[in-house]
Amino acid sequence: MMDEIFYEIFNNLPRQGPGDVCVSLEALKSIPFPNSEIRMADIGCGTGFQTLYLAQHIKGSILAVDNYQPYLDELKQKAEAVGLDSVIKVQLGDMNALELPAAYFDVLWSEGAVYIMGMENGLKNWRKFIKPQGYIVFSDVCWLKPNPPKELVDFWYNEVPGMMDVRQIQELIKENDYTLIREILLPASSWVNNYYYPLSMNVARLRIKYLHEPDKLEVIESIQYEIDIFHKYSDYYSYKFFVVQSNR
């Protein structure tokens, strides 16, 4: 039941988390691709807002993976509509139990989804799917300033218990035998214009729809609280892109 309201809240959004295609493409430019075609997997792709843009800027193919079939269906329809269905293929799958060929992909891409399995688990478990000296590109939320307010710490502890600062992420990348190629901070506009503004429209509409259903209303208000937290404390945290290359 709660899964249903969660997906309803995030229905018809351009993307399911903060992001910016300009930043995505900037991260993509950091990878020295060969002239030959590349193979990319987009893990936790959602409705594939970024997948469609990436597909227009690579020579090769993208396998888009998500655990929610309606998102994949939407991405497939969009890819067909813009003539990218030969480039983008979709696959239903659990991030914690990916069924992908070993040493197959040049790049594993994941925007705002690695927290589901944990960054360290992602770096360790995804390596087997990339070719030797292959790349992983991911974005994750991280602390930007020390001593965040207690209200903010409590919120993110519930959302992402292992949330790290940038230095800790850099150390984790090194400890897991990757080289950090580049990191790029998402600007505040990537949260507001591309995510929270359309999300707030859904929240306002569903708050009226489920006015007399307390369980659903509680979920809806929790999303509003997340938006409010950002407007109060956005100086303390953001998403960052990390482009890393395996040393093996």
Residue 53 lies in a domain: yes
Residue 216 lies in a domain: no
**Strand-pair partners of 239:** 141
Domain limits at 183?
17-187+238-246
**Strand-pair partners of 139:** 111, 241
Residues constituting the chain: 248
Residue 193 lies in a domain: no
Q: Is residue 100 within 8 Å of 127, Cβ to Cβ?
A: no
Residue 209 lies in a domain: no
Q: Is residue 5 within 8 Å of 220, Cβ to Cβ?
A: yes
**Total domain count, the chain:** 1
Residue 233 lies in a domain: no
- pLDDT tens, position by position, 187-208: 999 999 989 999 999 999 999 9
* Distance from chain centroid for Cα 238: 13
Say which residue the tokens 């969009």 belong to. 78
Give the CA count within 13 Å in the CB-facing half-sphere of 38.
Answer: 23
CATH number at residue 127: 3.40.50.150
* Distance from chain centroid for Cα 57: 19
- pLDDT tens, position by position, 14-45: 999 999 999 999 999 999 987 789 999 999 99
Residue 207 lies in a domain: no
Residue 196 lies in a domain: no
- Lookup: tokens for 182: 């580049």
Say which residue the tokens 């404390």 belong to. 233
Q: Is residue 33 within 8 Å of 247, Cβ to Cβ?
A: no
Residue 1 lies in a domain: no
Which pLDDT tens digits describe the chain residue by residue (248 residues)?
567 899 999 988 999 999 999 999 999 999 998 778 999 999 999 999 999 999 999 999 999 999 999 999 999 999 999 999 999 999 999 999 999 999 999 999 999 999 999 999 999 999 999 999 999 999 999 999 999 999 999 999 999 998 999 999 999 999 999 999 999 999 999 999 989 999 999 999 999 999 999 999 999 999 999 999 999 999 999 999 999 999 99
